[in-house]
Amino acid sequence: MSKPGTKSKGKSHSPHLDELDDVDALFYLSEEEPGPKQSSRRSGKAGRTVRQEPPKIVALVSRKGGTGKTSLAMNLAEVLSTRRRRVVVVDLDRGADAAKWQGRGGELSFAVMRVDSRGGERELKKSLDEAAAEADLLILDTPPANARVMSRAVQAADLVLIPTGPSTLDVVATVEVVNESLEILGGDEQDHPRVVLVPSRLISGTRLAKELPRQLEKLSLPIAPGICQRVEVAAAGSEGRAVRPKSQAGLEFSKLARFVLRNLRQT
């Protein structure tokens, strides 16, 4: 895994990224000494010890392949890695699409860590702990239709994002994955991570895209701002970079990132 932040590019912040200032509020920092379960680090400025909670974990899961999990993971990671925050995308997919994306050589401000998801519960926990030591936020990219990995990711997460395309088949698969996730979590709903639907690969201006929110409302889960099908998203993946912040896709990802932060803050 490359060290988080080592590729930091000191980017100039566009106005919509500036709105992400509230990212700081997500992470609890205090001047007190660290407790037994908390990591500590020295703040560069005053040399004081700051206390930090364990990183938040966002998991992307879907039963269907190609719903946009990896594209969402990588682009969200880029937006959220602004403002000194260390983000690690944990690639749990044996196809290693996130790691391959990073390997294409475009500039990214966050690290990708490959984890062999064939290992047992303990190995996964160890890998997540390793990633956690390097990060303020972990984003888990999972393979499609792999109940075991999905189950682990959902259980580890503070926030579960279920990307869903606009077709009937997509919605049917989403209903299944929602039911599976809630079954995995079982018990008291109050202790569940938040489960959120993310409309993905919407074709702007089409009836299917317009009707999707109504279809999804039936699931009684929060619905995130959607991401449209755009050449920029596909091009970013091919070039190993994130979408350009000022593009339409960039604006959509910023909006989604703000929604993610708001929801994480409530976990």
Ligand X SMILES: Nc1ncnc2c1ncn2[C@@H]1O[C@H](COP(=O)(O)OP(=O)(O)OP(=O)(O)O)[C@@H](O)[C@H]1O
What residue ranges bind ligand X (CB under 6 A)?
A: 62, 65-71, 93, 97, 143-144, 201, 227, 229-230, 233-234, 237
From the list ligand X, Mg ion, none, partner contacted by residue 229 (C-beta under 5 to 8 A by kind): ligand X
Q: Compute the distance between CA of residue 67 and CA of residue 59 in angstroms, rounded to an integer.
A: 14
97 counts as binding Mg ion under rule CB under 5 A: yes
Sole window of 14-22, 68-76, 163-171, 233-241 interacting with Mg ion (rule: CB under 5 A): 68-76
Q: Are β-strands 159-164 and 194-199 bridged in parallel, bridged antiparallel, or unpaired?
A: parallel
Min separation Cβ 230 and ligand X, Å: 5
From the list ligand X, Mg ion, none, partner contacted by residue 4 (C-beta under 5 to 8 A by kind): none
8 Å CB contact between 165 and 200: yes
Query: Taking Cα atoms as reference points, which of 246, 152, 150, 97 lies closest to residue 163?
Result: 150
Q: Helix 231-239 and helix 69-80: axis angle, to 10°?
A: 80
> Which CB sits closer to ligand X, 55 or 163?
163
Q: What letter does residue 138 receive in the DSSP assignment?
A: E
Min separation Cβ 28 and ligand X, Å: 31
Q: What letter does residue 21 receive in the DSSP assignment?
A: G
From the list Mg ion, ligand X, none, partner contacted by residue 254 (C-beta under 5 to 8 A by kind): none
Q: Which token pair is 79?
A: 């937006």
Q: Count Cα atoms within 13 angstroms, Cβ side, for 255.
A: 15
> Which CB sits closer to Mg ion, 70 or 127?
70
Sole window of 3-11, 14-22, 48-56, 95-103 interacting with Mg ion (rule: CB under 5 A): 95-103
252 counts as binding Mg ion under rule CB under 5 A: no
71 counts as binding Mg ion under rule CB under 5 A: no
Query: Taking Cα atoms as reference points, which of 198, 196, 199 lies closest to residue 181?
Result: 196
Min separation Cβ 209 and Mg ion, Å: 22
- Dump the DSSP string for 167-188: SHHHHHHHHHHHHHHHHHH-S-
From the list ligand X, Mg ion, none, partner contacted by residue 106 (C-beta under 5 to 8 A by kind): none
127 counts as binding Mg ion under rule CB under 5 A: no
85 counts as binding Mg ion under rule CB under 5 A: no
Q: Which of 1, 4, 62, 70 binds Mg ion (CB under 5 A)?
A: 70
What is the length of the chain?
267
For 51, counting Cβ atoms within 10 Å of its Cβ (0-12 exposed, 13-18 middle, 19+ buried), the class is middle
Longest dimension (CA), the chain: 56
170 counts as binding Mg ion under rule CB under 5 A: no
> Which CB sits closer to Mg ion, 181 or 215?
181
Residues of this chain that bind Mg ion (CB under 5 A): 69-70, 97
